[in-house]
């Protein structure tokens, strides 16, 4: 017997399991206040998931609002949809728009690596689809504990197989991302997923339920008992590794798993079916079902629309007939969508779904009123103002304060650390660093992903950015890169966020595309910790300041809190995804040296900046000091130079300098096509020149006869330029210091991940 609204009004004092559902007492009292009575079990379920940290952004909202102060235009056009929609959409010209967004699926991927990562891909793909776009590519920024940690051997292969399995089955190329190792991610891996979609301007769809009498259709997979309470219990609380993540307090028949199992072939049908429905122009509002399932879709659609909504829960197709109404509302079963359709189009809608073998059911309608009502077995179990569920949730001004340790961390610089001296020690350091987990070859991971399916991937990992052709006739394309440096962010969260932004921005520019907009996934520890909240606040300020200076908007993204093991938070990890536009992908630049005898130049200045560097980490296990100094105006001018140069076909290669500094960039550029390089560092300190991680730098190669053009462009852009040497042979030579055969570097660079996985039996 379900708990009806009538029953709730009669039994005001009945105790309710609000605490078990993750609500705080004042939140529960506020729900009672809104409704003027106690909530029914179903209402309590809806509020608890929608007011969870994951869905309501209650701790981050006051900070994220600052993104709204930024420009709502990109350097190439308007933002057609922004923060608050399923994903941001930007105009990229020629009538095309591109939507992209990054999200986290961290805790589910720890509990069940394969399915957690797989459903993370599925979720972001549906977000992109819901905007009216065809998903065209994914990128996965991943972070794990130490490569040799036993739990990494459990989590990493599962996550990678899950990302690959789901994306490959969908036929989506995976064109980039990151693989980063740090002890702070042991017990709390970060599995972020970014998806890019393409649409024509007129195909843009929004998540709102308008027009009384229009029908609400649930389509896709049937609803089961999986993933109940995922957002409120799994994603929004300090994570207990020992728990199996079950939601409790519902009095359900069994402990429910909070992880979901994905079915990529169902999702593929859902994509094609939805695109055909869009093409038929028979949808007035659409929303994907992700975290918080039906609770989220019904309340958000109704809240964003112009009326109310009535749903009959008995119509929801179930996999398990024993589910209670509150379980149906909270289920996070995958591969489901909800559409609002005018009555005269319903038949056609259902016909298209039937063609694709997609289950579709009318479960309700848009109403005149301003309430969301839900019936179960002929009685009303939910009667709420939808805005109070979806958009007017709690907002917290969490206390934050610069931690006392921050001064100590910044004072603990790298000047005291012994540095390698002489050619032999430098060469040994090079070989050691290229074989360190964060600099070594990631092919073991990326080879499990299909990069080229759909035939439009013109650049993919290990390039600095992934690039996709959008229009086969004009060559119009987009480039995407994601970056995040938790070590720099730990030293200075404001600067760290900007450094991540600048790196992703530069990576896009290196490919020849004009960076135009960002999405971000902000991965942090517990917001109840003022230290963490300070890191978060600084990060948002840093991104806002950085985007303002670069003149690009934040189009959306995601916040993931409670990433910690016990009391220890992860390194603050803002992952920034930058999208760029290129008029003709045939003008792209790639990272590898192409042929012998070409001139190699370094753009940008090198300073003695080794705090937070890979060298400090690998050689000294040290994390202290201040991160590299950033000049965003320089970054912008550097990007202009790179884009203009690429447009003229000036560069044979261009590679961003980041983790590991100049030497790592030279190693990667040389190994790409087996073309070595001989460089002369001049009077500079060779260690600093090779290993410093000063930002705003790029290595380019070009034919000798075009050097004057480069000099001219660099002067015009006021970007420092310096000749490094010449490409050729199968060695990497630093004149007067050392010569290393590429074969020796390659062997060291390729070994670590396969060796670690083999040792763990994979």
Partner 1 sequence: MARVVVDVMPKPEILDPQGKAVTGALDRLGFSGLTVRQGKRFEVEVDGEVTAARLAEIRDAAEKLLANTVIETFDVRLDQA
Residues near partner 1, by CB under 8 A: 111-112, 115, 221, 224-226, 244, 254, 256-257, 259-263, 265-266, 319-320, 333-334, 357
Residues whose CB is less than 8 angstroms from the CB of residue 242 and which lie 6 or more positions away in sequence, other chains included: none
Cβ–Cβ < 8 Å for 2, 374: no
Residue 436: name the closest of 751, 214, 688, 719 by CA. 751
In DSSP terms, 656 is beta-bridged to 698
**Closest distance of CB 357 from partner 1, Å:** 8
* 3-class secondary-structure state, position 222: coil
Structural contact between residues 248 and 20, judged by C-beta atoms closer than 8 angstroms: yes
User: What is the distance between the alpha carbons of residues 416 and 406, in angstroms, rounded to a whole number?
Assistant: 19
Report how far residue 83's alpha carbon sits from residue 328's, in angstroms, rounded to the nearest whole number: 28
Q: How far is the CB of 161 from partner 1 (least distance, A)?
A: 13
Please choose, from the candidates 384, 313, 373, the residue with its C-alpha nearest in 3D space to the C-alpha of residue 37. Answer: 384
The span from the CA of 728 to the CA of 745, in Å, is: 16
Choice between 264 and 527, CB closer to partner 1: 264
What long-range pairs does 273-281 form, CB within 8 A, spacing at least 24?
273/219, 273/352, 273/353, 273/355, 273/356, 273/358, 274/129, 274/337, 275/129, 275/134, 276/352, 276/355, 276/356, 277/339, 277/349, 277/352, 277/353, 278/132, 278/203, 278/205, 280/345, 280/348, 280/352
User: Least separation, in Å, of the C-beta of 227 and partner 1?
Assistant: 9
Give min distance, CB of 335 to partner 1, in A. Answer: 9
Q: Based on CB atoms, which residue is closest to partner 1, 244 or 730? A: 244
| Measured distance CA(168)–CA(123) in Å, rounded | 15
Which stretches of 524-676 are assigned E, i.e. beta strand? 554-560, 564-565, 568-569, 573-582, 599-603, 653-656
Could you tell me the smallest distance in angstroms from the CB atom of residue 311 to partner 1? 22
CB of residue 743 to partner 1, shortest distance in Å: 39
Of 141, 119, 144, 89, the C-alpha closest to 571 is: 144
**What's the CA gap between 260 and 231, in Å, rounded?**
12
Cβ(653)–Cβ(591) under 8 Å?
yes
User: Whose Cβ is closer to partner 1: residue 82's or residue 257's?
Assistant: 257
Q: Is 105 tagged catalytic?
A: yes
At 760, phi and psi to the nearest 5?
A: -95, 5
Minimum distance from residue 355 beta carbon to partner 1 (Å): 15
Catalytic residue (one of 63, 105, 107, 587)? 105
Q: How far is the CB of 263 from partner 1 (least distance, A)?
A: 4
Q: What radius of gyration, in Å, describes the C-alpha atoms of the chain?
A: 26
Nearer to partner 1, 333 or 498 (CB): 333
Smallest distance from partner 1 to CB 657, Å = 42
* Closest distance to partner 1 from the beta carbon of 729 (Å): 50
The residue whose two tokens read 């039906």 is 294
Read off the DSSP letter of residue 416: T
Sheet holding 379-384, edge to edge: 285-288, 336-341, 215-220, 360-367, 308-312, 372-376, 379-384
Query: Where are the extended beta strands (E) located within 462-531?
Result: 466-469, 477-483, 514-523
Backbone angles phi, psi at 572, to 5 degrees: -60, 125
- 189 in Cβ contact with 461 (< 8 Å): no
Q: Which of residues 244 and 633 has its CB atom nearest to partner 1 in the complex?
A: 244
Catalytic-residue membership of 54: yes
- Decide whether 257 or 577 has the Cβ nearer to partner 1: 257
Cα 283 to Cα 211: distance, rounded to the nearest angstrom: 12
Q: Cβ closer to partner 1: 357 or 705?
A: 357
Closer to partner 1 by Cβ: residue 265 or 452: 265
Measured CA to CA, the distance from residue 681 to residue 339 in angstroms comes to: 62
Least Å from the CB of residue 166 to partner 1: 11
Which residue, 266 or 550, is less far from partner 1 as judged by CB?
266
For residues 226 and 668, which CB has a smaller minimum distance to partner 1 in the complex? Answer: 226
Task: Report the C-alpha gap between 520 and 555 in whole angstroms.
Answer: 9
Return phi, psi of residue 409, to 5°.
-60, -45
Minimum separation from the CB atom of position 313 to partner 1 (A): 18
Nearer to partner 1 by Cβ, of 111 and 614: the residue is 111
Select 320 or 379, whichever has its Cβ closest to partner 1. Answer: 320
Distance between CA atoms of 141 and 483, rounded to whole angstroms?
A: 8
The terminus-to-terminus CA distance of the chain in angstroms comes to 50
Smallest Cα–Cα separation from 756: which of 100, 105, 128, 181? 181
Q: Work out the burial of residue 696: count CB atoms within 10 Å of its CB; fewer than 13 is exposed, 13-18 middle, 19 or more buried.
A: buried
Give the residue numbers marked as catalytic. 54, 105
């Amino acid at each position: 017997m379900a708990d009806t609204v009538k029953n709730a009004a009669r039994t005001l004092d009945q105790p309710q399991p609000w605490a078990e559902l993750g609500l705080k007492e004042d939140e529960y009292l506020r729900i009672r206040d809104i409704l003027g009575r106690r909530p029914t079990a179903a209402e309590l379920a809806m509020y608890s998931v929608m007011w969870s940290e994951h869905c309501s952004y209650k701790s981050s909202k006051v900070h994220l609002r600052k993104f709204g102060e930024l420009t709502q235009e990109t350097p190439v056009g308007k933002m057609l949809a922004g923060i608050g929609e399923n994903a941001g959409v930007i105009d990229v010209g020629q009538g095309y728009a591109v939507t992209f967004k990054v999200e986290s699926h961290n805790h589910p991927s720890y509990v069940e690596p394969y399915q957690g990562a797989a459903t993370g891909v599925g979720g972001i793909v549906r977000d992109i689809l819901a905007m009216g776009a065809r998903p065209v590519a994914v990128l996965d920024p991943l972070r794990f504990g130490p490569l040799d940690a036993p739990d990494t051997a459990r989590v990493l292969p599962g996550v990678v197989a899950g990302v690959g399995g789901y994306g490959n089955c969908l036929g989506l190329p995976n064109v980039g991302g990151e693989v980063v190792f740090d002890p702070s991610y042991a017990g709390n891996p970060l599995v972020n997923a970014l998806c890019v979609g393409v649409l024509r301007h007129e195909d843009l769809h929004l998540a709102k339920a308008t027009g009384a009498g229009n029908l609400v259709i649930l389509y896709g997979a049937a609803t089961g008992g999986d993933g109940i309470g995922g957002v409120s219990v799994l994603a929004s609380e300090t994570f207990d590794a020992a728990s199996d993540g079950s939601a409790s307090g519902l009095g359900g028949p069994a402990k429910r798993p909070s992880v979901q199992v994905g079915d990529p072939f169902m999702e593929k049908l859902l994509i094609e079916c939805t695109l055909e429905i869009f093409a038929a122009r028979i949808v007035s509002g659409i929303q994907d079902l992700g975290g918080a399932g039906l609770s989220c879709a019904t309340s958000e659609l109704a809240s964003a629309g112009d009326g109310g909504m009535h749903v009959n829960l008995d119509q929801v197709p179930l996999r398990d007939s024993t589910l209670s109404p509150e379980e149906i509302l909270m289920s996070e079963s995958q591969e489901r969508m909800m559409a609002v359709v005018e009555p005269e189009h319903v038949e056609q809608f259902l016909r298209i779904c039937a063609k694709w073998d997609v289950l579709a059911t009318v479960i309700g309608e848009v109403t005149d009123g301003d309430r969301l009502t839900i019936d179960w077995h002929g009685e009303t179990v939910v009667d709420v103002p939808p805005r109070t569920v979806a958009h007017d949730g709690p907002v917290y001004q969490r206390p934050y304060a610069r931690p006392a340790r921050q001064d100590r961390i910044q004072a603990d610089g790298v000047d005291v650390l012994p540095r390698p001296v002489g050619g032999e020690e430098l060469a040994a350091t090079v070989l050691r660093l290229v074989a360190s987990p964060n600099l070594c070859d990631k092919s073991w991971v990326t080879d499990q992903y299909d990069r080229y399916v759909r035939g439009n991937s013109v650049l993919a990992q290990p390039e600095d950015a992934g690039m996709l052709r959008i229009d086969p006739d004009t060559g119009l394309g987009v480039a995407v890169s994601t970056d995040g440096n938790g070590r720099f962010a730990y030293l200075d969260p404001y600067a760290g966020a900007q450094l991540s932004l600048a790196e992703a921005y530069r990576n896009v520019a290196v490919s020849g595309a004009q960076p135009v907009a960002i999405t971000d996934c902000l991965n942090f520890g517990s917001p109840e910790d003022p230290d963490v909240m300070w890191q978060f606040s600084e990060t948002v300020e840093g991104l806002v300041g950085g985007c303002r200076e670069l003149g690009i908007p934040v189009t959306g993204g995601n916040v993931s809190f409670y990433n910690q093991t016990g009391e220890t938070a992860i390194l603050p990890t803002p992952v920034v995804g930058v999208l760029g536009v290129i008029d003709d992908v045939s003008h792209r630049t790639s990272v590898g040296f192409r042929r012998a005898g070409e001139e190699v130049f370094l753009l940008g200045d090198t300073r003695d900046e080794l705090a937070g560097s890979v060298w400090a980490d690998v050689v000294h296990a040290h994390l202290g000091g201040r991160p590299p100094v950033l000049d965003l105006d320089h970054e912008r001018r550097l990007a202009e130079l790179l884009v203009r140069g690429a447009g003229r076909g000036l560069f044979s290669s261009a590679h961003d300098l980041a983790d590991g500094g100049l030497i790592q960039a030279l190693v990667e550029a040389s190994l790409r096509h087996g073309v070595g390089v001989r460089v002369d560092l001049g009077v500079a300190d060779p260690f600093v020149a090779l290993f410093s991680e000063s930002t705003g730098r790029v290595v380019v190669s070009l034919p000798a006869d075009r050097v004057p053009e480069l000099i001219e462009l660099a002067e015009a852009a006021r970007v420092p330029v310096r000749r490094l040497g010449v490409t050729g042979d199968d060695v990497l030579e630093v004149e007067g210091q050392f010569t290393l055969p590429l074969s020796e570097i390659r062997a060291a660079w390729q070994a670590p991940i396969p060796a670690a996985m083999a040792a763990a039996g994979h």
